[in-house]
Structure 1
Amino acid sequence: MTTTLISPEQASSAAPAPTKRKKRRDGTSLVLLLPALIMLVVFIGWPLLQLIIMSFQKYGREQIFGAPPSFVGFDNYVKVLTDPEFWVVLGRSVALCVVCVFATMVLGVGIALMMRALGKVMRTVVSVGLLLAWAMPALTATIVWGWIFDTSYGLVNYLLTQITGQNWIGHSWLSDPLSFFGVAAMIITWGAIPFVAFSTYAGLTQVPDEVLEAASLDGAGAWQRFRLIVLPYIRSILLVLLILQVIWDLRVFAQIYALQTIGGVRADTNTIGVYIYSVSMATGDLGSGGAIAVILVIVLLAISAYYIRNMLREDES
């Protein structure tokens, strides 16, 4: 029996050449995305384009009733950016946003951690409570909170009177700007906590229990386990939640406007969302209102782009 030796060159020439698998390109993905893209263009893209165009025009009450708008270039932006009131309102809005976002993230993550440690029955009770708070419209919630802080019949003034022994009946929480924003921050945080809590809890369910138990056996405390194990697992979720909370809290409108209607001083408590409405509707200057809105969109896009870029950079590394 003879054995035929084949050289590597002959083996390579005899072996069939590998065929490159061509990626199959079809329009299935595009067809699936098309309804969402159409919705985005119709309900976001087109109004945003109209807003940008309006911000470069003189658009007042005459134009509302049919007069053609005139192009004014960057005059509306110059008018807004040179107005000291705009910068005061913007700074006030940023300060309120920072307080609300910090409180929402801390309390939301804390509640999510508590839900993970609770039993099934108590977790269900907490979930129902969060859902009820989440389902309540912002305007309705603000009215209810307005009753709680009512000057004469509010629960807060009554409890403070009973606890401290001093007469708090008649004290107005909304007339002073500082206490006004304290109440507003409470309402905004209360309405935003459920979303953060549920989203964070969903991320916590993906953390392996075996890793946490092993770390606990090695002597890691609760804070060390959260910082070194849990946080890396849910970092991307927290980043998305942070971006969303900044966007929502910076442009908050309903809560501030409703509290102003109940008893706040509008000139001292305007935030950027209410300020846009006041400039556009109260003075009828839709062009300047559009310029403020475009500036706010640019600020929010810059914040979102910064955090998203950092998130992508961390994922690549």
Structure 2
Amino acid sequence: MLRKRDLWAYLLIAPTVVGAAFLLVYPMLKAAVISFQHFRMGELIRGGAAFAGLDNYLELVRGQEFWRVVLRTAVWTAINVVLIVVLSTLVALLLARLRRGLRVALMSALALAWATPVIAATTIFQWLFQSELGVVNWLLVQAGLTGFRGHSWFADGPSMFAVLVILVVWQSVPFAALTLYAGLTTIPAELYESARIDGGTGWQVFWRVTAPILRQLFALVASLEVIWVAKCFPQIWVLSQGGPDGATTTLPVYAFRVARSLHRYDLGSAVAMLTVVLLAVALISNLRRMVRS
């Protein structure tokens, strides 16, 4: 039987649970239902979608385009997550070594970068990488790289991919760096002093002291970044809409393009559900290990 104190605790968290269920669980369940239906423009207007079984999923897995998008999404996610974790670790170690004033200034800059709205940051990158008047091309030309004079970053697939990687990494590093720095502050200074007395170099101290203690935190940050990067949509859509020639089309962009351009809401929902499944498969072992720890 619930005690009064326990009941009060459940009442306090009830709004959050209800809000999460409405904003997260319901849309996902609705998408799952649509993915098993014949749901196009006609069904959207008049209703009465017919059950289609696994037809939408079979259509996807039998097509070559879907697997090309899956591979591109995997490469996109791997490049971004590796860069984010490495750069965030370096920034966190730098924060731990700075004096208080410089540390506060750098943390404030990171917080401001993190708080910048996604669309605003994406628009700024549009200006920075503009072919004729962009600051990036001007700086590269001033550095002697005259081949970048008038270079169109948004018309070339690899260049567009690189711009999006820089944008996503820039937006992601602040959160990961501040999280890792918070973990660094929990490590007793005596461990570092003992390691240095034993003659350990900076690299050895990191791998023998810091990395083992923060292993679960690194795993958590990496898992969160995998989810965030894999489902990244606004930056890609605003800058390239998945182009040029599909070079930046990842699974979320592909799902939106299928549903919007072809009015195949059933197929788009199937892509979304397969994205969830692929992410779950990629992260399940890591999440289970963290839960056990």
Give the 3-state SS of the residue equivalent to 1:268 in structure 2: coil
Give the 3-state SS of the residue equivalent to 2:143 in structure 1: helix
Give the 3-state SS of the residue equivalent to 1:73 in structure 2: coil
Distance 2:216 2:246 in 1: 39
Q: Any conservation in 1 of the 2:38–2:51 contact (CA below 8 Å)? A: yes
1:214 aligns to 2:199 (yes or no): no
**Which residue number corresponds to residue 193 of structure 1?**
173
1:98 aligns to 2:78 (yes or no): yes
CA displacement, residues 107-131 of structure 1 (integer Å, 9 cap, x when unaligned): 0111001000000111011111111
Give the 3-state SS of the residue equivalent to 1:164 in structure 2: coil
1:226 aligns to 2:199 (yes or no): no
CA displacement, residues 261-312 of structure 1 (integer Å, 9 cap, x when unaligned): 5x94253321111111100111100000000100011111222321012234
Count of residues in Structure 1 that have an aligned counterpart in Structure 2: 291
CA displacement, residues 198-221 of structure 1 (integer Å, 9 cap, x when unaligned): 100110000001111121111111
Deviation at 1:166, TM superposition (A): 2.3
CA displacement, residues 128-180 of structure 1 (integer Å, 9 cap, x when unaligned): 11111101112211111111111111111112222216253321112111111
1:299 aligns to 2:278 (yes or no): yes
Structure 1 stretch 82-91 or stretch 39-48: which is displaced more?
Answer: 39-48
**Which residue number corresponds to residue 310 of structure 1?**
289
The 5-angstrom pairing of residues 101-116 of structure 1 reads 101-116=81-96
Gaps of 5+ in 2: none
Gaps of 5+ in 1: 1-22
The 5-angstrom pairing of residues 1-317 of structure 1 reads 26-164=6-144, 166=146, 168-260=148-240, 264-265=243-244, 267-313=246-292, 315=293
TM-score w.r.t. structure 1 length?
Answer: 0.87
Deviant stretches of 4+, over 6 Å: none
CA displacement, residues 26-80 of structure 1 (integer Å, 9 cap, x when unaligned): 5454334433322222111111111110000011111121231111100000011
Distance 1:171 1:255 in 2: 21
Distance 2:246 2:283 in 1: 30
TM-score w.r.t. structure 2 length?
Answer: 0.94
Distance 2:219 2:125 in 1: 30
Q: 1:291–1:162: structure 2 CA closer, same or farther, 3 Å change rule?
A: same
Structure with greater Cα Rg: 1
Deviation at 1:193, TM superposition (A): 0.1
